[in-house]
Structure 1
Amino acid sequence: MPPRVVVLDYGSGNLRSAQRAMERTGADVTVTSDPHAALDADGLVVPGVGAFSSCMAGLKAAKGDRIIGRRIAGGRPVLGICVGMQVLFDTGVESTDPRTEEEEVTEGCGEWPGTVERLDAPVLPHMGWNTVRPPEDTQLFAGITPEDRFYFVHSYAVRRWEMAPLNPRIAPPRVTWADHGGPFVAAVENGPLWATQFHPEKSGDTGARILANWVATL
């Protein structure tokens, strides 16, 4: 039987493009907001586009933060994409009025420490194709070359990895980096919780390989 994957519908994200991309891996894919289906699936995809605060509000309304937490506690795979990755961190800080430098601070899911903040770059949003720098022991980027590029569209990201090693017997998270006005976190592999800042569903054959690598672990 193919692995069962749920794309979580909480009112944000490119749901159908994510569904089609996941189906090309051979997975049995459902788009739903049903918490039971999301908990029972072999893999859960959490997409996201737009503002951190809006995505977090939709996620909480759909009890998505609880679903993610329960799956992680049970060692059940979760894949966050774009803002679906960002909401996994402690906090999102967004500019509300560039003229006054007012900021809105939103609490995230808190699966990883860290703050999602505005990129320090002369051109925003960061939109287009970029290379990434995965660690040597990556599973997510298996088969990917240094020349391969991925599609990004965002103005905010995690610019510092803040999770300290907790136990020398446990493998630390594998963090992949990219650059736009400075380094930012492009992907994370941490036990059952994986995430990408880029859009694998919009990244052609290289993105398809990323999704296939994730599905192969289910």
Structure 2
Amino acid sequence: MIAIIDYGRGNLRSVQKAFEAVGVSAIVTRDFNKIADAKALVIPGVGAFYDAMAELKKEALDEKIKDEVKKGKPIVGICLGMQVLFENGYEVKQCKGLELLKGDVLKLPQNYKIPHMGWNQLKLKGESQLLKGISEGEFVYFIHSFYAVAGESEVIKATTDYGVEVPAIVEKEHIFGLQFHPEKSGETGLKIIKNLGRLIG
């Protein structure tokens, strides 16, 4: 069973349904005991980095998440959930993220339409447990105005081009991040969710 962290951001039920569609049991919760019992954690989300961290801190969910990850529990961040895995965000105003990955989250360049919304191709950057069965150039669905500038280039496993090279998939040991929405990305998204299911066991 995986725990989808309920902190009031994003369509939690659509993420839950996507995991259930590939045979992975998932609950939406903010209960510390259920988070502790889960095999893995998922942080979904739509909105601003600052607001997301404020919500996570309100009930000390940020510290609970970090404690579980330190124990080796897998975590998956989706869209805004991926961004808060990094050290700092600058949306609304500067604030600290969960600091599970090195790097900052910055605004996309102004010469492109913001938010970045729609289908873009994945450029594969290295071996990843999430990319089994995924080919160069497959399309996934993005909606975001900020992007991660990773402090460790080796964590970037796939990118997309939107005026800058946007990390689309990051992976470090048991920490995974997807800037796009796999639950809205058709067959490619389902393949990635299946791969996550295999990793979680």
Under TM normalisation by the shorter chain, which class is it? over 0.9
Aligned match for 2:78, one of 52, 57, 81:
81
Contact 1:152/1:199 (8 A) holds in 2: yes
User: Is the counterpart of residue 213 in structure 1 residue 201 in structure 2?
Assistant: no
User: Is the counterpart of residue 154 in structure 1 residue 144 in structure 2?
Assistant: yes
**Cα distance per residue 1:133-174 (max 9 Å; x no partner):** 22331110110112311100001011x32127xxxxxxx535
Q: Alpha-carbon deviation of 1:116?
A: 0.5
SS of equivalent residue, structure 2 residue 10: coil
Contact 1:137/1:174 (8 A) holds in 2: no
Alignment match, 2:48: 51
Equivalents in 2 of 1:195, 1:62: separation in Å?
A: 23
What runs of 5+ residues in structure 2 fail to find an aligned partner? none
Identity %: 40
SS of equivalent residue, structure 1 residue 207: helix
Contact 1:35/1:63 (8 A) holds in 2: no
Residue identity matched to 1:6:
A
Alignment match, 2:178: 196
Q: Alpha-carbon deviation of 1:48?
A: 1.0
RMSD between superposed Cα atoms in Å:
1.4
SS of equivalent residue, structure 1 residue 140: helix
The structure where helix makes up a greater share of residues is 2
Alignment match, 1:124: 114
SS of equivalent residue, structure 1 residue 152: strand
Q: What are the equivalent positions in structure 2 for 1:35-46 lying under 5 Å apart?
A: 35-46=32-43
What runs of 5+ residues in structure 1 fail to find an aligned partner? 97-103, 165-171
Residue identity matched to 1:130:
N
Equivalents in 2 of 1:134, 1:68: separation in Å?
A: 29
**Cα distance per residue 1:71-110 (max 9 Å; x no partner):** 221111111000001011111112x5xxxxxxx1111111
Mark the CA change 1:25 to 1:63 in structure 2 (over 3 Å): closer, same or farther. farther
Equivalents in 1 of 2:53, 2:114: separation in Å?
A: 22
Equivalents in 2 of 1:154, 1:173: separation in Å?
A: 20
Return the index of the structure with the highest Cα Rg. 1
Aligned match for 1:91, one of 88, 95, 100:
88
Q: Tell me how many residue pairs correspond in the alignment.
A: 199
**Cα distance per residue 1:5-48 (max 9 Å; x no partner):** 11110111210100100101111111111011112101111111
Aligned match for 2:129, one of 106, 129, 139:
139
Alignment match, 1:176: 158
Contact 1:82/1:199 (8 A) holds in 2: yes
